[in-house]
Structure 1
Amino acid sequence: MIREDELTSGPRLTPRLDVAAVGSASQLAGMRAEWNSLLDASNAGPFNAWEWLYPWCRRIAPEVRPLVLTARDRLGTLVGLLPLGLEHRWVNGMRVRRLGFLGETHVGSDYLDVVARKGREAEVARAFFNVLQGLRDEWDVLDLTDLREGSTTLGVAREVFGDVRVSERYVCPYETLVPGEPFDAFLKRTGRRDNYLRRRKWLEKQDGYRIERTDAPGQLAGPMTDFFRLHALRWSSDGGSQGIKGAGVEAFHRDATQWLAERGRLRMYTMKVGGQAVASVYGILHGQTFVYFQSGYDPAWRNRSVGLVLVGETFKDAIEMGLTEYDFLRGTETYKADWVTKQRQTVSLRAHGAGFAGEWYTRSEEWARQTRNAVKGVLSDELVEKVRRFRRRKAAVD
């Protein structure tokens, strides 16, 4: 088992940095202020925030032991974090010790990565990976999922570990916003201007129409309840949501939104007509970027395009705030292409430890994938859909 004292005294090929580890949820709980200070001084993405990863440990994966590597300079200042978790999996009779990012499952965390002060990304990643390389007998698989395709971490991992496997994950549509550009000028560049304006005009004539924006920590209970209801309604005909599955995931989001709001990073949008919530968007502010995380709407209002109008309002708000990017995150749904023109890719990286268990784990995954594909090839479409829905329900976190 990897011990914290091993990491503290492990090999350091970057002598200016002292690498240690935080190995419990209680220690992680006390890192918020220092973690936030580092994140604000980095280029790391929104889901590397303490407000996201700490509730993930509490609500989603309490069985995963946090193993957060820290890098400090000679003055003791935190300059880097690698938020990992250690878990043990049994794969076809063999125990596998797997290291992976905190936040990697159930909550849609794109752009996970090493968190380092700007300009020190390669130095910090190298220090972390050199330590892990020196402890390669103590782990079997290192999985770093949903890295941004151009991340410095990828090149450093190849340099230190040698043979690593990199695979594509998700396409994330986004748009660059032009500072000072009026919202109407932006609309002219999209494929939805006329429909958006026509639908908004009709909605504005309805009794009790309004859009509420909530960003205060003490005012989230109602908007979050509306969001969960509308999100579930939106996906009910498809066998349930892939993004928010189970009471445990809802509890995670209630915690995360509260803490994000305390940091001024949350934007919850709720459209109401006649006093009834009909659409909702869950957004996150990160630097100069508006992050569209999730949404929901009442299918009874689908023909009135309430989702379209509310998304348009989030773009309008982002432009008026002077933000420079709008990120839809993973997924290439058609409605996203109507609003944005750019895409970026996320990838996953895997390195194996010194023993055979890591190779066994990868081979077992490949065999399982081949078996699933073969079975799907002989099943009817109806049965494949039933299996898909069953697996979605089984994946829920209670």
Structure 2
Amino acid sequence: MTVTRSDYDDAALRAWWEDAYSSSSLRCDTLFQSLAWNRNWYEHFVRDDPRRELYLLKIESDREIIAVAPMFLQIRSAGPLTAWRYLLFLGDRLAQYTDLITLQAETAPLWHAILQYLEAELPGSWIELHDVLPASTARQADMQAEKTRGETYLRIPLAKLDSTRLPDHCVPHMRREILRARKTFSADSSWRWEAVSAPGEDLVSALMDLNRARFGEASWFAEKLHRDFFNALSGDAGEELLFTVLRHNDDIAHVMVSYTHGTSMLYVLSGMDERFRKYSPGSMNLDRSICHAAEHGYTYFDFLRGDEKYKQEFRPEQRTSEHWTLQSGGPGLRYRIARTAQNLRRGEGERTTA
């Protein structure tokens, strides 16, 4: 088994990746494993950043590609010198379910090969994995890792749900909210709902405008670079980008964005026109979006990372991720310096907010 560093000009790698992804049989199988997602994230957040380098690791057995690790090297400097460096998955912290691109049932050998590559090619560095879930490929490998608690992930199993059963699946407050929203929708023919795959530029722009109007500087779309990335992804993701849109007459009252691939519908973010807040358009849209996922054969409606109250009211399945730090050897000097600096920054932040 060999590990080599490649890039997006590698035609054989791109062809293998597209075929593996289109099979819908990857070990971790979401839009976050697509070539479109990873290439666009690289082009917007890595390529022009002098502190980052692409590490697209191609893993081969008998000269056949069996896996890709889409990573980047994060470089931290002290003046003109490199203080330390470490590998992360492309999309780190933004993408959820970051993992190897592979069809292999046994993934432990892949991770051991990556660590051997790390020791040979990037001595003194390490790998940060920020979303290790129970089904992550790294779980198979018996690797020494520094582990800390991660985030809560929530998703609704859909096998036994439909529009009739969904209200009773929820806690009483959400049950009342859904039934009230359905009554509001049915009583006024001005309300319309639709699911739009491969949305056009006008709808994408409307989402970003509504999200920014609602959240201001806290909106993810407040930065132009983020808007540019999402516009590019919207053009490349095709029908796997799903907008569920609630309109009142010709006005968009609420819009939700989901990524669809494999067995899950991943709810990413939304936008709302505050003029319609009194009608609870978010509940109206969320109800219909979950029912849409069930009707179209998805196994889960996935809320992704975060344990907000409204998510908990759907009585979802809960999983907890872990943060792992992988090293090829014992903790080196640069790693100890990095951790000391990190702890000092964390302590300074706690004193500032106290």
Distance 1:229 1:360, change over 3 A: same
Of 282, 288, 291, the match for 1:307: 282
What TM-score results when the alignment is normalised by the length of structure 2? 0.88
User: Cα distance, 1:351 vs. partner?
Assistant: 3.1
Asked if 1:97 is matched to 2:85, the reply is: yes
Q: How does 1:109-258 map to 2 (within 5 A)?
A: 109-137=95-123, 139-154=124-139, 156=141, 159=143, 162=144, 164-178=145-159, 181-191=161-171, 192-206=174-188, 208-216=190-198, 219-236=199-216, 239-241=217-219, 243-258=220-235
Residue-pair matches, total: 343
Question: What secondary structure is seen at the aligned counterpart in 2 of 1:227?
Answer: helix
- Measured against aligned partners, the alpha-carbon deviations of 1:47-89 in whole angstroms (never above 9, x if no partner) come to 1221211111111232222111112232x43211111112321
- Corresponding residue to 1:344 among 315, 319, 329: 319
Report how far residue 291 of structure 1 moved: 0.6
2:70, 2:10 → 1: CA distance?
10
Matched, 1:82 2:62: no
Ranges in structure 2 where 5+ consecutive residues have no aligned partner: none
Give the counterpart letter for 1:225 in structure 2: S
- Aligned counterparts of 2:209 and 2:259: Cα–Cα separation in 1: 20
SS at match of 1:144: strand
Residue of structure 2 in register with 1:372 after alignment? 349
Q: Letter of the aligned partner of 1:99 in structure 2?
A: L
Q: Aligned in 2, Cα 1:132/1:153: closer, same or farther, shift over 3 Å? A: same
How far, CA to CA, are the matches of 1:171 and 1:315 in structure 2?
Answer: 20
Query: TM-score, structure 1 length as denominator?
Result: 0.79
Tell me if 1:19 matches 2:6: no
Residues 1:48 and 2:33 aligned together: yes
Structure 2 CA distance for partners of 1:172 and 1:29, relative to 1, 3 Å? farther
Residue pair 1:110, 1:147 contacting (<8 A) in 2 also: no
- Deviation (angstroms), 1:339: 1.8
What is the correspondence of 1:380-395 to structure 2 with a 5 Å cutoff? none
Change (3 A) 1:61 1:19: closer
After TM superposition, give the deviation of residue 28 of structure 1 in Å.
Answer: 6.2
Look up the match of 1:361.
Answer: 338
Q: Give the distance between the partners of 2:195 and 2:119, measured in 1 at CA.
A: 47
Distance in 2 (alpha carbons) for counterparts of 1:140 and 1:91: 16
Amino acid at match of 2:200: L
1:44, distance to aligned residue in structure 2 (A): 1.1
Aligned to 2:306: 331
Sequence identity (%): 19
Name 1:10's counterpart in structure 2: none
> Mean Cα displacement is larger for which, 36-45 or 249-258?
36-45
How far did 1:150 drift?
4.6
Amino acid at match of 1:240: A
Q: State the alpha-carbon separation in 2 of the partners of residues 28 and 245 from structure 1.
A: 34
Following the alignment from structure 2 to structure 1, what is the Cα–Cα distance between the partners of residues 218 and 138?
35
Dislocated runs of 4+, deviation >6 Å: none
Q: Distance in 2 between matches of 1:72 and 1:352?
A: 22
**Which one has the bigger strand percentage?**
2
- Aligned CA-pair RMSD: 2.3
